[in-house]
Amino acid sequence: MDEIFGFPVVVLASQLMLGLVNGAFYAVLSLGLAVVFGLLNIINFSHGAFYMVGAYAAFMGLNYLGVSYWLALVLTPLVVGTLGVAFERTLLRKLYQLDHLYGLLLTFGLTLVVEGAFRTAYGVSGQSYPVPEALGSVLDLGFMMLPTYRAWVVVASVAVCAVTWFVIERTRLGALLRAGTENPKLVETFGVNVPRMVMLTYGFGVALAAFAGVLAAPVLQVNPLMGSNLLIIVFAVVVIGGLGSTLGTVTTALGLGLIEGLTKLIYAEASSTVVFLIMVLVLLVRPAGLFGKES
Amino acid sequence: MSEALLTITDLHAWYGESHVLHGVNLNVNRGELVTLVGRNGAGRTSTLRAILGLTGVRKGSVCIAGVETMGLQTFEVARLGVGYCPEERGIFASLSVHENLMLPPPLPGGTPLSVDEVYRLFPNLANRGNTQGTRLSGGEQQMLALARILRSGARLLLLDEISEGLAPAIVDQIAEALMELKRRGYTILLVEQNFEFARSMADRFYVMEHGQIVEHFAVQELDAKADLLHELIGV
């Protein structure tokens, strides 16, 4: 039994694993995007840029300051999240009263500026970031060889998503966030400092993106456009999953990663479009997304 | 005369370009239940919203417990001990009954009712904790909205049309709960269309028209004002 549907098990398993790794990145990024959109009503186009800044922060930390991967995994989300908070406080906050398009334009503009800055400093060819020593081995699963780092990416992403799900769905803070998504002004009449909650939520979404960036640095090339390339797919994930369900977003992200991986095997030419085809189908059948609530 | 908890002086408010309050003057003393009556569009809801800074631009003065609130943000006004029940009740669909009830954090210096006390006041809510908030009946949602602000420890309650669209038996239950709150010393500013509901509880009435207070009288003067009331609000 070394073939399934005509594909060698090894090949199938490695494609699924690659799909799962991509799905893990989609999950962390789409979660941040969905949380920010839910509470702020802002289509955060700069999400991909913060992901890229996260990867570069890890790269710069290692090369200029000798910051290890593990320390970067903790510090980078804090530092980049703080940058996000500053961006929210100084610029984004002024646009909440205006049409969604203004937020989209501002965050898109920020993306261009940040990408341009990194392109000027580092060029477009990309830098490599070494896999941390402790995760440099390869696990022999019997039917396939699994690089430990890839397994770590999946485990770390799922863990972060699980904690986020728990906080949003099972704690009082999460209840405030969900209520704030529905009617922020009413939540404010309960004496809750909603502007601060919005600011911290934005910072948290940005920190999630930066976390994904550090996770990605050893497996993908660190380059200025890495965020833009991924963000389009992440937007599709959020649209397919629908807003309003943390679990739905994460499940959709992992599922789409796997489907993408399988498509690479079956009909490689369609692998970069399959997510968008699914998006079209889902929008036709369920406009609010697979797990979204019809308003 | 007891001390004023809420004093509104020459309050103007706008929604965008639209000037909705034209110099409102009213005051509510500690422990009083005051009702704001008037026709639809007279500015009653806008008055409640303006107290909390939920309208657009405001001018004039709103003092709560001696603190001028015009420069404060909505959450800062609430922290002075204000609870607000909007006309649409504002029950959160994504939260269970229990989560809705536990949502407001205790206000500084407030005296929150315990969950047991809330259930004694509104027995219909007991055993409904896991139900999605918006799956309750209209009356139960109204009770939940009221119970929720009592959980925050607010002592000045701004209640907007809380009897609207409810069955008479439920309206009676809510009236009983309000009387109990009054006995406990809560201060209540009630916006009400149902005049019968209001007259059984209120100490004083303000009548609004075109964004202004046009008449003000105590419950004892109600009979003497019957003709005027009929003319102003059709009751």
Does residue A140 belong to any structural domain of this protein? yes
Q: Which architecture characterizes domain B4-233 according to CATH?
A: 3-Layer(aba) Sandwich (3.40)
Pairwise pLDDT comparison (A230 vs A3), residue with the higher score = A230
Does residue A211 belong to any structural domain of this protein? yes
pLDDT over 90 percentage in chain A: 77
User: In the 3-class helix/strand/coil scheme, how is chain A assigned residue by residue?
Assistant: CCEECCEEHHHHHHHHHHHHHHHHHHHHHHHHHHHHHHHHCCCCCCHHHHHHHHHHHHHHHHHHHCCCHHHHHHHHHHHHHHHHHHHHHHCHHHHCCCCHHHHHHHHHHHHHHHHHHHHHHHCCCCECCCCCHHHCCEEECCCCEEEHHHHHHHHHHHHHHHHHHHHHHHCHHHHHHHHHHHCHHHHHCCCCCHHHHHHHHHHHHHHHHHHHHHHHCCCCCECCCHHHHHHHHHHHHHHHHCCCCHHHHHHHHHHHHHHHHHHHHHCHHHCCCHHHHHHHHHHHHCCCCCCCCCC
Provide the domain limits for residue A210: 3-224
Supply the angle between the helices A148-170 and A246-266 in degrees, to the nearest 10.
150
Residue A23, exposed/middle/buried by CB under 10 A (0-12, 13-18, 19+)? buried
Mutate: best of B75, B101, B156, partner A, most A CBs <10 A: B75
Test A179 with B74 for CB contact under 8 angstroms: no
Tokens read off for B135: 């799956």
Contact of A244 with chain B, judged by CB distance below 8 Å, is answered with yes
Among B10, B16, B13, CA closest to B58: B13
Does residue A272 belong to any structural domain of this protein? no
Beta bridge partners of B59: B12
Q: Where are the domains of chain B?
A: 4-233
Whether the CB-CB separation of A238 and A245 falls below 8 Å is answered with no
Read off the pTM.
0.89
Test A182 with B75 for CB contact under 8 angstroms: no
Written as tens digits, the pLDDT of chain B (235 aa) is 568 999 999 999 999 999 999 999 999 999 999 999 999 899 999 999 999 999 999 999 999 999 999 999 999 999 999 999 999 999 999 899 999 999 999 998 888 999 999 999 999 898 888 899 899 999 999 999 999 999 999 999 999 999 998 999 999 999 999 999 999 999 999 999 888 888 889 999 999 999 999 999 999 998 888 888 888 887 7
Reported as a single tens digit per residue, the pLDDT across A256-284 is 999 999 999 999 899 889 999 999 999 99
Q: How far is the alpha carbon of B92 from chain A, nearest alpha carbon, in Å? A: 6
Number of domain units in chain A:
1
Does residue A288 belong to any structural domain of this protein? no
* Helix, strand, or coil (residue B66): coil
Distance of alpha carbon A267 from alpha carbon A272, whole angstroms: 10
Q: What pLDDT score does A295 carry?
A: 57
If you ran DSSP here, which 8-state letter would residue B127 be given?
A: T
Q: How far is the alpha carbon of A109 from chain B, nearest alpha carbon, in Å? A: 29
Does residue A234 belong to any structural domain of this protein? no
Test A182 with B93 for CB contact under 8 angstroms: yes
Reported as a single tens digit per residue, the pLDDT across B4-53 is 999 999 999 999 999 999 999 999 999 999 999 999 899 999 999 999 99
Does residue A182 belong to any structural domain of this protein? yes
Q: What is chain A's mean pLDDT, rounded?
A: 92
pLDDT at residue A99 greater than cutoff 90: no
